[in-house]
Structure 1
Amino acid sequence: MNFNIDDTAFILIDHQVGTNTWAATTPLELLQRNVLILAKFAKGTDIPVVLTSSQEDNVDVQGPLMPELQNAVPDAFEKRIKRHGVVNAWDDPAFAAACRATGKKNFVMAGVTTDVCMVAPAISAVKEGFIVKVVCDACGSTNQIAEEMSWRRMEAGGVHLTSTNAIVAELVGNWASPAGAVAFPLLT
C-alpha cells in the first residue's frame, strides 16, 4: 500500500512555536526540519497541504504556527484552520472539511504533541475511510512512554507509522523523476 503523489494530501497539526517545545522525544531542531521537509516537498510536488493550530492567541503557551511554514506553504498557511481548543482536530468541522476537500484518499499526517494532538485525528480519519500514515519524526510527546503509547494506539487504530525520509522516498518512487529533483536537496 504505497502512497503516490496523485492520491495523497499532507495534514500538519499544531506545529506551533510553543507546542513544538513540548515534544521532548524528538529534538526541536529535527522536528522543525522534518516538518519543513514535508511542507516544501508538498509545495514542490503540488501535494495539497492542510494546516491547523490550536489557540494561536495563547502566545505564552501554544503560540502561532512555525513562521517558516508561512514561507514554505503560504497558501495553506493563509487558509489554516485556527481551532479554539478542540483537542481532536477531526472534531472541528472546518478542519475535517478541509481535509476532505483535498479530494485525496491518503493522508500523510504529523502533529505535536503525538499523544494529545496526533492520535485522535489520525484514528478518526481512518474510521472515516482514509488511509493514514503518521510521520513519527515530525511529531513528538513530552516523554518516551507517552510517545510509545501513542504509536501503539495509532497502530491498533489502523494508522501506519513512517518517517520523513521514508515517506518522501515512497512518494518519489524514482530519484530521476521531477519529484526526485524536489526531494533530493531537501533530504541531503
Structure 2
Amino acid sequence: KKLVISALWTEVCLTFPTLMALGEGFEVYVVTDTSGGTSVDAHERSIDRMVQAGAVPVTWQQVLLEYQRDWARRDTYDAVMDLVREHSGAYGIGVDYAYTMVHGAPERKA
C-alpha cells in the first residue's frame, strides 16, 4: 500500500489524491520536483499540507535511485546512468567523471 505520485498541478492534481490515499491508509510519496503549482507559494503550501497529513516528499532522482537500489543491478545500470548523466546537473557531471577517470570510459561529447 505505497504510492509514488506526481501531477501537473500540485494544489489540485497532487494534493487531493494524496489526501484521499492517506485517508485510505496508503503510504504516499509525493515527487515534489516533477509537479508544479500555479505559483511557487501555491506549490510549497500544498507540499506543506500533504506533509502535515503524512505524505513523504521526495525528488525524481531519489525515486530513480531507490528503484535502482545498488549499482550491482546491471540490467538497469546503463539506462539509469544515462538519465542521471543527462538530467542530474552536478551529480551527472560526477558520473561522467567516474566513467572516464575511474572506469576508463571515453569522454562523453556534449
Normalised by the size of structure 1, how large is the TM-score?
A: 0.42
Structure 1 match to 2:105 = none
CA contact (8 A) 1:131 1:159 kept: yes
Unaligned runs of 5+ in 2: 86-110
Q: Mark the structure with the bigger radius of gyration.
A: 2
Structure 1 match to 2:34 = 138
Q: Deviations along 1:92-141, whole A, 9 cap, x unmatched?
A: xxxxxxxxxxxxx2111100100111101011111111111111111001
Structure 1 match to 2:49 = 153
User: Highest relative contact order (Cα 8 Å, sep 6+), 1 or 2?
Assistant: 1
Q: Secondary structure at the match of 1:111?
A: coil
Distance in 1 (CA, whole Å) between partners of 2:63 and 2:32 is: 11
Q: How many residues align?
A: 84
**Aligned-residue CA RMSD in angstroms?**
1.3
Structure 1 match to 2:82 = 185
> Structure 1 or 2: larger helix share?
2
Distance in 1 (CA, whole Å) between partners of 2:33 and 2:52 is: 19
Normalised by the size of structure 2, how large is the TM-score?
A: 0.70
> Structure 1 or 2: larger strand share?
1
Distance in 2 (CA, whole Å) between partners of 1:138 and 1:120 is: 16
Displacement of 1:180: 3.0
Report the identity percentage.
Answer: 31
Distance in 1 (CA, whole Å) between partners of 2:77 and 2:58 is: 19
Amino acid at match of 1:179: T
Q: Secondary structure at the match of 2:6?
A: strand
